[in-house]
Amino acid sequence: MARRSVDVPALVESARAGAPRAVARLISLVEDGHETLREVMAALAPHAGSAWVIGLTGSPGVGKSTTTTALVGAFRQRGLRVGVLAVDPSSPFSGGALLGDRIRMQDHALDPEVYIRSMASRGHLGGLSWTTPQAIRVLDAAGCDVVLVETVGVGQSEVEIAGLADTSVVLLAPGMGDGIQAAKAGILEIGDVFVVNKADRDGADATVRDLRHMISLGDRSEPGLWRPPVVKTIAAQKVGIDEVMEALDKHRASASGNGELARRRERRAADEIESIALAALRSRFGTLGGREGLSALAREVVDGTLDPYAAADRLVETLGS
Amino acid sequence: MARRSVDVPALVESARAGAPRAVARLISLVEDGHETLREVMAALAPHAGSAWVIGLTGSPGVGKSTTTTALVGAFRQRGLRVGVLAVDPSSPFSGGALLGDRIRMQDHALDPEVYIRSMASRGHLGGLSWTTPQAIRVLDAAGCDVVLVETVGVGQSEVEIAGLADTSVVLLAPGMGDGIQAAKAGILEIGDVFVVNKADRDGADATVRDLRHMISLGDRSEPGLWRPPVVKTIAAQKVGIDEVMEALDKHRASASGNGELARRRERRAADEIESIALAALRSRFGTLGGREGLSALAREVVDGTLDPYAAADRLVETLGS
C-alpha cells in the first residue's frame, strides 16, 4: 500500500505515548479519508475501547463550548486525560485550522492532558457516521479517559451522532422556545442528561418544568431503565457543573449495569462498519462499465425506459457477478 | 405487493390529469418511503423527463420564498404549469402540514396550475438524493413544465441538491458577508445564475462586484462554457425578475446546446439509483446473521479483535455468497 510518506506504526506509537502532534495528524488522516486509514485503524483497534464517550448537543447559542470547557475542567480535576471533538455540521471545511482549536477553549489551551479538535462533518453519504467514530478511536487509543463530542443539534444526522455516545447530554437555554425545538429535532429521545444552561435567565424554571413534563410523556418509566435528569447550570460561572458530573457518573453506572453501554458501542461500531462497506460498494458501482454500469442505467432512467428501482436492482445484481 | 389501500394506477392517472390531491398524495408516498414507491416510480417513469428543474438556494433571510413567488408569477404569465418544492433541511418533519403550503405563497394559493409543496430533507443516509428527485419526478409526470426546488443553503448536501438541478440559482443579499459565506459553502461552484436580492440595500453593488470577481477566479472561462451572470433584484417589488428570467432562459439554451443538461440529468438519475441500491444493500446487511452478520462483526470491533475495515470487507464478501 502506498503511503505518501506517512509512517503509520511510528505515528500510532507517538500518539499512544501522548504526543499531541501525532494525535492531530491521525485525526487529519481521518478527516482526509487518507489511503492509510485502513492501516491506522487496524493499528489503533487493539488499544481503543476504554474511553468514556460523552456527546453534547444543543442549538447554537445555548452555551455548548462554555459547558464543554467547564466539564473538561471537572474531568481534569479528577486527573483524567480528556479529548474534545467539536463537530461543525455547517462547515464543509475542517474547522481545525479556521477556529484555532487551542484558542477556542483558552482555559485548557496549554494543558498537555487535553486534546481539542474541531472537525467538519461533511454532508457526504456516510461521512458523519464514519469520521466521528474514527476520530473518537484515535483519541481513545491515545489514552483519553473521556472523549467529549460537541455537535450543533441542527439536523437529524447530528442528533444521531449524539445519540451514539456512551452518554448524551442535551443542552437547552431558557426562552429559546427550546422545548418545542427539542421535540421537533428529536433530541428528547436521545438525551440521557438534560442541562438547562443560562439558568439565571427568565424562564429557566419553566423550561425545566416543560422538559420534565415532556420526558415524563416518553416511555422511559419501565423499571431498570434510566430516567434522564434535568440539571440547571450557569456554565460561564461553573454553577451546576458538579451536579452535571454527578448525573453523568450515574448514567455511566446505569448504562454499564443494564447493558445499554454495550448496545450503544455495538451500534456505533455497526454504523461505522456499514458506512465503510457502503462506500466500498459505491466505489464499485462507479467503476462498473457496460450496459449494467451506473451511467448507462442512469441514461435509461433519464429517457424513461427504465425506472430507478429496476435500475437499482440491476446494479445490485451486477455486484454479485 | 401489499398496498395498504393505495391504488397506484388510479392515483397516477389522477395526478397526470392534474388533480392536486393526487399529486400531493404521491409526494407523501415519496416522503414516507411508502412500500408502493417502486410501483409509483415505474408508473411515472415513462411520463417524466420534460420538466425544467430549477434549483434555488441561499442562506436564511436572502428572500428565497419571495423570489420563488415572483418566478412562479413570471412562469405563469407564460402559461406554464409550475411545481414548487421547498426542501427544509432543518426539519425532521414534513413541512407540508406545518407551514401550510398554500398560505406560504399566497399569490398563487388558488391557482390550479401551481403545485406548492414543502418537504423535509431527512438527514438519513441517502435520504436527500432520493426523495428530492422522486418528488421532482412526480411533479414532472403530473405535467409541470417547470419545477422550482428551493433549498436553504446551509450544508453540503443541500448545495449538492441544488447543483443537480437543470439550472441552479444562488441567491445572496447585501451586507450578510455572503461573499465569504458563498465561498465557504461551496455554492459558488454550483451557481448558474447569481441573484443579489434586496438590491436597494447598502452594499448591493459591492456584493455584485465581489461575486463577479470570485466567479472570474473560477475556471469557467473556457470557450463554449457558461459564464454565470449576476443579476440584481428586489423580489418583493418584482424588480429585476425579467432579467432573472432572461438569464434562466439563456442558461437553459446553453445547457441544452453543450450537453450540460443531459449530463446533469444523468447524474441526478445516477445518484437516485445509487441511493436506492445502497439502501437495498444496507437492509441486507441488517438481516445477515451468524458470525459474519453486522452485529457479530460490530461486537468484534468493540472488543478490539477486529478493525472496522476488515469487518467491512467481511460484510461485503458475505453479500456475494
Contacting B residues, span 101-160, partner chain A, CB-CB under 8 Å: 122-126, 129, 133-134, 154-160
pLDDT band, very low/low/confident/very high, at A2 (cuts 50, 70, 90):
very low
Rounded to the nearest angstrom, the gap between the alpha carbon of residue A191 and the centroid of all alpha carbons in its chain is 14
More confident residue, A1 or B241: B241
Min distance A19 CA to chain B CA atoms (Å): 22
pLDDT band, very low/low/confident/very high, at B153 (cuts 50, 70, 90):
low
- First and final CA of chain A: distance in angstroms? 27
Which residue among A41, A270, A285 places its CB closest to the CB of B309? Answer: A41
The CATH 3.40.50.300 portion of chain A extends over 49-258
pLDDT at A163: 66
- Number of Cβ pairs < 8 A linking chain A and chain B: 197
The mean per-residue pLDDT over the stretch A129-157 comes to: 84
pLDDT at A32: 81
pLDDT at B105: 56
> Are B151 and B58 spatial neighbours (Cβ–Cβ below 8 Å)?
no
pLDDT of B175 > 50? The answer is yes
The CATH 3.40.50.300 portion of chain B extends over 48-258
With a pLDDT cut of 70, the percent of chain B lying above it is 78
pLDDT at A99: 38
φ, ψ dihedrals at A31, nearest 5°: -60, -40
Homologous superfamily, domain A49-258? P-loop containing nucleotide triphosphate hydrolases (3.40.50.300)
Dihedral sign computed on CA atoms, order A75, A77, A80, A83:
positive
Long-range contacts of B108-111 (CB under 8 A, 24+ apart): B108/B69, B108/B72, B108/B73, B108/B76, B108/B82, B111/B76
The mean per-residue pLDDT over the stretch A297-302 comes to: 94
Among the ranges given (A46-55, A83-92, B309-318), the one the predictor scored with the smallest mean pLDDT: A83-92
pLDDT of A92 > 50? The answer is no
What CATH number matches the domain at B48-258, 3.40.1480.10, 3.40.50.300, 3.40.50.720, 3.60.20.10?
3.40.50.300
The mean per-residue pLDDT over the stretch B146-156 comes to: 78
Contacting B residues, span 28-67, partner chain A, CB-CB under 8 Å: 37-38, 41-42, 44-49
Please check whether residue B302 touches A, CB under 8 A.
yes
pLDDT at B15: 93
The mean per-residue pLDDT over the stretch A41-47 comes to: 93
Please check whether residue B185 touches A, CB under 8 A.
yes
pLDDT at B145: 96
pLDDT band, very low/low/confident/very high, at A176 (cuts 50, 70, 90):
low
Contacting B residues, span 276-295, partner chain A, CB-CB under 8 Å: 276-278, 280-282, 285, 294-295
pLDDT at A127: 44
pLDDT at A130: 74
Instruction: List CB contacts of B104: < 8 A, sequence separation 6 or more.
Output: B65, B86, B116, B118
Min distance B154 CA to chain A CA atoms (Å): 6
Contact A269 B123 (CB under 8 A): no
pLDDT at A95: 34
Convert the pLDDT of each residue in A193-203 to its tens digit: 999 999 999 99
Please check whether residue B90 touches A, CB under 8 A.
yes
pLDDT band, very low/low/confident/very high, at A234 (cuts 50, 70, 90):
very high
